Amino acid sequence: MDFYQPSLGHQFINGYQVQGQGPTLPRISPATGEELLEVDTATDEQVDQAVKAAATAFPSWSTLTPGERSDHLLAFARELQLHADELAAVETSQTGKSIRMSTEFDVPGSIDNVNFFAGAARNLQGLAAGDYAGNTTSMIRREAIGVIGSISPWNYPLQMAAWKILPAIAAGNTIVLKPSELTPGTSVLFAKAAIDAGLPAGVINVVLGDGPRVGSALVRHPLVKMTSFTGSTAVGLKIMSMAAERGNRVHLELGGKAPFVVFDDADIEAAAHGAVAGSTINSGQDCTAATRAYVHSSVFKKFTSRVAELMDAMVVSDPTDPDTDMGSLISEAHLDKVAAMVQRAEDSGAKVLAGGRREERPGFYYRPTLLVGAKQDSEIVQQEVFGPVLVALPFDSDDEAIELANDTPYGLAASAWTKNVDRAMRASAQIQAGCVWINEHILIVSDMPHGGYKASGMGKDMSQYSFDEYTNVKHVMLSHDPAAHRDWQDTVFKQR
256 belongs to the binding site for ligand NAD (CB under 6 A)? yes
What's phi and psi for 298, nearest 5 deg? -70, -20
Catalytic position from the list 91, 287, 384, 435: 287
For ligand NAD, the binding residues in 152-181 under the rule CB under 6 A are: 152-155, 178, 180-181
Widest distance between CA atoms in the chain: 92
Q: Does 457 bind ligand NAD (CB under 6 A)?
A: yes
Three-state SS at 408: coil
Asked if residue 238 binds ligand NAD (CB under 6 A), the reply is yes
- Does 142 participate in binding ligand NAD (rule CB under 6 A)? no
| Nearest to ligand NAD of 115, 456 (CB atom) | 456
Pick the closer one to ligand NAD by CB: 167 or 457.
457
Q: What is the DSSP string of 221-271?
A: -TTEEEEEEES-HHHHHHHHHHHHTTT-EEEEE----EEEEE-TTS-HHHH
**Residue, CB closest to ligand NAD:** 211
Query: Helix/strand/coil (H, E, C) string of 62-95?
Result: HCCCHHHHHHHHHHHHHHHHHCHHHHHHHHHHHH
**Active-site residue, from 253, 384, 435, 469:** 253
* Identified binder of ligand NAD from the candidate list 188, 235, 350, 370, rule CB under 6 A: 235
Any contact of residue 287 with ligand NAD (CB under 6 A)? yes
102 vs 152 by CB, closer to ligand NAD: 152
E strand or H helix at 107: helix 107-120
b/e 152-171 (16+ beta carbons within 10 angstroms → b): bbbbbbbbbbbbbbbbbbbb
> Does residue number 185 form part of the binding site for ligand NAD (CB under 6 A)?
no
- Residue 262: CB minimum distance to ligand NAD, A: 23
Q: Which of residues 327-386 bind ligand NAD (CB under 6 A)?
A: 384, 386
Q: How far apart are CA 149 and CA 221, in angstroms?
A: 9
253 is catalytic: yes
> Smallest distance from the beta carbon of 333 to ligand NAD, in angstroms?
10
CA distance 479 to 2: 59
Nearest to 293 by CA among 400, 392, 371, 188: 392
CA distance 290 to 279: 5
Q: Which of residues 193-212 bind ligand NAD (CB under 6 A)?
A: 210-212
Give residues in contact with ligand NAD (CB under 6 A): 151-155, 178, 180-181, 210-212, 215-216, 219, 230-232, 235, 238-239, 253-256, 287, 384, 386, 412, 452, 456-457
Question: Active-site residue numbers?
Answer: 253, 287
